[in-house]
Copies of this chain bind each other. A is one copy, B any other.
Amino acid sequence: MNIFGRFFRVSLWGESHGPAVGALIDGCPAGIALQPEDFCHDLERRKSGQPGTTARRETDRPVLDSGVFKNRTTGSPIMIRFANADTASGDYDLINKYPRPGHADLQAYHKFQGFNDHRGGGHFSGRLTVGLVAAGVIAKKIIPRVKFKATLISAGGSKNIGSSVSLAVVAGDSVGGLVECRITKLSPGLGEPFFDSTESLLSHILFSIPGVKAIEFGDGFAAASMSGSRYNDPIVSLTGRTSTNRCGGINGGLTNGNELGLRLAIRPTATIGQEQLTIDKATGKKAAICFGGRHDACIALRVPVVVEAACAIVMADLYLAHRTVNGTSLKQIKL
């Protein structure tokens, strides 16, 4: 269902070419300073504009319809809305006839018996992440000491990201990318037993970001080839500091107080300028189609701030959980 989080709960709604998209946030503590300008920095980082990103330009001005009074959160649900302005839906008539390879066009058609909004992928669109970034801004404010830093470290297999993207643009093609995120100043003991391990919650929200196809924590896949004597991080302090950090800051699903590190593979954008093989939905016949439309040659360029937001939402949720139950001695429960 379209909600994430147990304490700090985020719902996303909207379609790429509908009237608006947004986020509804429930469970945010009262008293957090919040005004529209606070969203600018992260929303700017998500915007298109640099080479390799779509020609669609949205102002992404957040409207706070509820939950904020005198520039402070009130404790009731926060509704953030973004109007869709620069929609060119005509570009997408073609995909209603020919589903795009690599996209959810055909699956959504089957799932919703053709009632889905196909324009720009409808609800299955990167456009939805604008609400995620906005929710992330608020999450970061709940836990201001924790720092999130996500970076695109390669595109198309090269660390020379600009060159790689330029080549794709010229070829009417697209490229994937590798995003790394580092989270510092985390308390030890975050994460819940068994099903809600820290890795479980982070991967759950991160795989909801369109395009993510793989994730690893710490040494990740390399761990499968290692011996325990090499992989185990020696403990050097009572708070859990370790001299190496192969586990990526998580032991047994709980944060250990060291830097939390993860890497994500972002697949190349599905919509490309080259001809691709697909079928005609009406006739079932094969067809070779070139999908125009505006698109990002490397969506990974815009993903890092979305990854930070997703991680911040999980961590705000875990800090709120931590205060509640397991991480609290009984005497702290004031009656």
Contacts and interface: CB of A to CB of B under 8 A. Distances in A.
30 contacts: A1-B196, A3-B3, A6-B6, A18-B66, A22-B79, A27-B324, A30-B116, A74-B112, A74-B123, A81-B81, A102-B247, A103-B251, A106-B235, A107-B189, A124-B193, A171-B227, A175-B227, A196-B208, A197-B207, A200-B207, A208-B253, A213-B248, A222-B265, A223-B265, A229-B272, A235-B278, A237-B279, A243-B277, A321-B324, A323-B332
Given A7-B324, A168-B228, A200-B205, 10 more contacts: A2-B192, A13-B66, A102-B232, A106-B256, A107-B188, A185-B335, A199-B207, A224-B266, A232-B276, A243-B277
Contacts of A22: 65, 79
- Residue with the highest number of chain B CB atoms closer than 10 Å, among A69, A187, A242: A69
A196 to B, nearest CB: 6
A100 B278 CA distance: 54
Given A232-B276, A323-B323, A4 B195 contact: yes
Cβ-closest 8 pairs across A and B: A104-B252, A157-B225, A111-B189, A214-B216, A174-B228, A234-B277, A76-B123, A102-B232
Contact of A111 (B234, B320, B326): B326
A32 B67 contact: no
A220 B146 CA distance: 29
B220 A31 contact: no
A138 interface: no
